[in-house]
Amino acid sequence: MTQADDMSVLILAPHGRDGTVAAAILSEVGIKATICPSPEALVAALDRSACAVITEEALLNADRRELADWINLQPPWSDMPFILLTHRGGSPVEHLTQMLGNVTMLERPFHPAVLVNAVRSALRARQRQKEVEVHLQERQRTHERQALLIRELHHRVKNTLATVQGLLGATARSTHSVEEFYNSFADRIVSLSNTHNLLTEDYWQTAPLIEMFKNELSHYDDGAQRRITLDGPPVELSADLAVPVGMAVHELTTNAAKHGALSVPGGQIAVVWRVQELGPGRRLDIDWIERGGPLVGQPNRKGFGSTLLHRVLTHQCRAAINIVYEPKGLACHMEIPLVEERLVPEY
């Protein structure tokens, strides 16, 4: 609906010259007026108008049921203003005024200024009603967002508690002392917290991939040697992807700090990612490449980090993982289908 439609006036005056006179008066002051030939035409146009001027005789001898139904079925914010033109000295027809509800009566003949003032008052009232409509719609959208946020929060807390429980058990199985367990478990909880901080900035919805890498790797970087290289387009990961991917990045970083490129001063890590278009969906490809660290060999057993990469990313994210233990440095390639839909609309 255009603004011009919002401020337009309908006129129902099928007998005599009342319709053309009223339209001419309103036109002179810049108010758009449309003459309706019948009550049916009036009802058909009411949704696109802000006010209706009706002569009393136009309703007395007409079928008023359709108009009455339209008035009764208005939404809660709406109370369409009507101006009823009556004969001077006559008594108001009570059942007509009751049916119209929000009605102003003008006796004929009327001064042009009286009609203009009545119509302008009606237009202002209708404009306020429209503002209420916008306010109510925004409140409804906010309510829906809040309901979705609560659902997402419940889902996220449940998943987070399950993740923490899994981290607790796996860390306990992969460490050999209370101190080692405490340090490993605390580091993993901090990493999980950092990912959640990114998610809560966007109402538990998405986290920027590059910030997840920076959270884990930035404090290892040396400006002079440029030990860390991050290269890829902006990518926002949904919550269900961000948590396991953040855990995987933490495990790769921890492994590099203990055994790989970050365990010696000159080691370097390059992370390159790209988004592949695959018909109806997209896929995130990540390459983690370590160079300049100790010689790398095939491990004798799978550690927790390797198990997490394969199990969590494969099961939760339907990702494909390939880790190659090259002598010159570990290389990890991940292919992760992207989740495109947001649960909660953006503000």
The pLDDT tens digits for 7-16 are 689 999 988 8
How many structural domains comprise the chain?
2
Same-domain check for residues 210 and 325 = yes
What local confidence, expressed as pLDDT, does residue 27 receive?
Answer: 92
Alpha-helical runs (H) found in 87-225:
94-100, 112-174, 178-200, 209-217
Q: Is residue 140 part of a domain?
A: no
How would you label 307-340 residue by residue, b for 16+ Cβ within 10 Å and e otherwise? ebbbebbeebbebebebeeeeebbbbebbbbbbe
Q: Is residue 175 part of a domain?
A: no
Q: How far apart are CA 207 and CA 246, in angstroms?
A: 10
Q: What is the CATH number of the domain that holds 13?
A: 3.40.50.2300
Identify the DSSP state of 261: G
Q: How far apart are CA 73 and CA 278, in angstroms?
A: 49
Q: Is residue 71 part of a domain?
A: yes
- The parent domain of residue 25 ranges over 3-132
Question: What is the overall mean pLDDT for the chain?
Answer: 82
Distances (CA, A) of 238 to 88, 160, 207, 232, 315: 70, 14, 7, 17, 16
pLDDT tens sequence across 56-77: 989 988 899 999 999 999 999 9
Kindly state the percentage of the chain with pLDDT values over 90: 39
Domain stops at, among 132, 158, 187: 132
Q: How far apart are CA 193 and CA 197, in angstroms?
A: 6
Q: How confident is the model at residue 201 (pLDDT cuts 50, 70, 90)?
A: low
Domain stops at, among 132, 164, 191: 132
Q: Is residue 182 part of a domain?
A: no
Q: Is residue 197 part of a domain?
A: no
pLDDT tens sequence across 266-307: 889 999 999 998 877 899 999 999 999 888 887 776 654 566
pLDDT tens sequence across 287-298: 999 999 888 887
Q: Is residue 198 part of a domain?
A: no
Domain stops at, among 88, 113, 132: 132
pLDDT tens sequence across 72-121: 999 999 999 999 999 877 777 888 999 999 999 998 888 999 999 999 99
Q: Is residue 214 part of a domain?
A: yes
Q: Is residue 237 part of a domain?
A: yes
What local confidence, expressed as pLDDT, does residue 161 receive?
Answer: 65
